[in-house]
Structures are given as C-alpha cells and as structure tokens.
Chains A and B, each alone.
Chain A
C-alpha cells in the first residue's frame, strides 16, 4: 500500500496533533514536516520539499470525516 508509513505516522501522532485540528499536515516517512491552513498550500510545500518523492497531506481531525457519493459508483479502496 502506498504511503503506508506516512499514514501510520499520522495515526500514531494524532493524539498530540489535536492542537492543530483542521490544519493540513505534510508528512513523509515518520516525520511531520509542517502544518498548513489550506490543502493547496500543503501540496505546494510537499512538491517543493520532496520533489517527486512520495509524501502525504492529511487534514488533522480528531474524528475522521466521511465523504459520501450517493450515486452507486465503486471507489478504489486503499
């Protein structure tokens, strides 16, 4: 699975990230590089810092939000 380590880092550090609730975290490996107010800013910083290497942008939420598509389509699962 892609970004497995980054997702594990986010999950492990989530309890200490709640002070940044709503911000977008930029993560590579086991390092959280920075926090951003917008998704676009976090993506921009990710490409600037890590170039074409894998990185994760994840909005910090104590409770993970669930998106929905009411049409009967099949999303690709992780």
Chain B
C-alpha cells in the first residue's frame, strides 16, 4: 500500500546512517521576516545548510545555536521542554520562527519545505548534526523507517 502511495506523492528514499535517519537540510528565516528585512532595506541571511537527524522522539525541532546566530534572528516565543538533561522538571526555553527545508542530497532533486515553525535553541555540537527534526515537522509528512532493509523514506 505504501509503495502504491509513493507513486503519487513527492518522496525520497535514503540510506540509514550509523547515526540514524540523517538528511541534508537548510534552516531559513521565515518568509515574514524576509519581507520585514526587505522593507527595512536590510539584507537577509542566506539559508544555513545543515545535517539533520529525523527524531521521532522529539516533539519540537531543535536547532544548534551556531545556526540561529548565523541567521541573526530574535526570540519570538517561549516553550516548556523536558529532556533527560532537565531532570524531572521542564525548563522554559526561548523559541524562534524559522522554515526548514529537507533535501534529497543532490541539488535540483526532491525537497520538502516546512511551514513557519517554532524551534528551540539546542546545543547539538557534539552530536555531528546541527538540527533535530521533530514530529512537529513530520506532522506534514509520511515517514517510513525500514530498519531491516537499511533505508528510510520521507513522503510529503
């Protein structure tokens, strides 16, 4: 059934890396912020190309501080979050409005662009990727993880 559906929706299939389902992605400021910068006569930052892990154990997408700093964006929200590092008590964290693009890996090939989403600033420097893509992004996709065959498919 999934194979039949794949004939009709944009999708790409990639090999599962030792770290898990890793994709090439880009983090961009929201379209609304682009327009505000342009109206103010200011240049807007280029999309930041990143390695991202698709993580169904995250209900919100996390972005490394180096990426957010390069985008020059300001906090537009706050959320409560719980991770193993926060102990038993959730902590309040700033959130930022961005758009995430996920690419198949080769320029000009398939890609997925998210709506404007709120993301947290999360230190991922020792993990080998700069973004954790959570179920907030996957909510608009069909994600198929085939561990037995060693690949995953993202339909959008």
A and B, one complex? yes
Once the chains are docked, how many angstroms separate the CA of A71 from the CA of B128? Answer: 14
List A contacts of B30 (CB < 8 A).
40, 43-44, 47
Residues of B within 8 A of A (CB-CB), count:
48
Q: A2-B94, A72-B85, A73-B83 are in contact. Are A54 and B55 (CB under 8 A)?
A: no
- Asked if A3 lies at the interface with its beta carbon under 8 angstroms from chain B, I say yes
Once the chains are docked, how many angstroms separate the CA of A7 from the CA of B93? Answer: 12
- CB within 8 Å of B: which of A28-78? 38-40, 43-44, 46-48, 51-52, 54-58, 64-78
List A contacts of B81 (CB < 8 A).
66-69, 75
User: What's the dominant secondary structure at chain B's contact region?
Assistant: mixed
Interface size class of A (residues with CB under 8 A): 20 to 34
B interface residue numbers (CB < 8 A to A): 30-33, 35-37, 39-40, 42, 55, 57-60, 62, 65, 74-86, 90-94, 97, 115-118, 120-124, 127, 132, 134
Given contacts A44-B32, A47-B30, A69-B134, 16 further A-B contacts (CB under 8 A): A2-B94, A3-B76, A7-B78, A46-B32, A47-B35, A48-B32, A52-B42, A57-B76, A57-B118, A67-B120, A69-B81, A70-B57, A75-B122, A76-B94, A78-B78, A78-B94
